[in-house]
Amino acid sequence: MKGAIKGFFAIIAAVLYAGAATFILLDAQGTPDFSPNSFQMTLLDTGAGAIIAFITAQLGLAVAQQNGDGFPASVKNTMGSDQGLFFLLLDVAAFSFVGLWFVLLAMKPNLIAVAEGAASLKDAPAYIDAHATLFIGVVFAAVAAIAPSVRD
């Protein structure tokens, strides 16, 4: 049962975050002067929180409970199912894809749509900068947390 609940949460987190982010980022690139509404931002922020919480919790548990069988076996054990590694990788892939998309737009704001005849943006909107920064911070924190536990 533990595996089913964690698997369900992993899928919901990935779909919520990737879905909300995809709609927002496609609109940012295709709709001039797009600004997400409060509900879109609520979905994006909730999805980001859920997926970050899931990934960090599962990585933390897997690192803490390593018993010499290797990291994939530890993930399967902490997730409670043989598909545990798949669900963790699904969330990592969704978080990475969306995060890198935010970073791309933050670094190249000229890819963001503006009104016809208007100059390209020099800075990305705050919601893009915030999620790009969030992604970079979480990646650095995860690497710093996991690195000491990696064995030769």
Q: Per-residue DSSP letters for 65-96? A: T--SS-HHHHHHHHHTSTTHHHHHHHHHHHHH
| Per-residue pLDDT, 2 | 72
Please check whether residue 65 is in contact with residue 72, taking contact to mean a CB–CB distance below 8 angstroms: no
Q: Which domain holds residue 48?
A: 2-149
Q: What is the distance between the alpha carbons of residues 105 and 113, in angstroms, rounded to a whole number? A: 11
Contact (Cβ atoms closer than 8 angstroms) between residue 101 and residue 25 = yes
Burial (Cβ within 10 Å: 0-12, 13-18, ≥19) of residue 128: buried
Count of structural domains within the chain: 1
- Dihedral over alpha carbons 60, 63, 65, 69 (to 10 degrees): 150
Condensed to tens digits (0 to 9), the pLDDT of residues 116-135 reads 999 999 999 999 999 999 99
Are 41 and 17 within 8 A, CB to CB?
A: no
Mean pLDDT of 36-60: 93
pLDDT-based confidence at residue 53 (cuts at 50, 70, 90)? very high
Q: Is the pLDDT of residue 152 over 60?
A: no
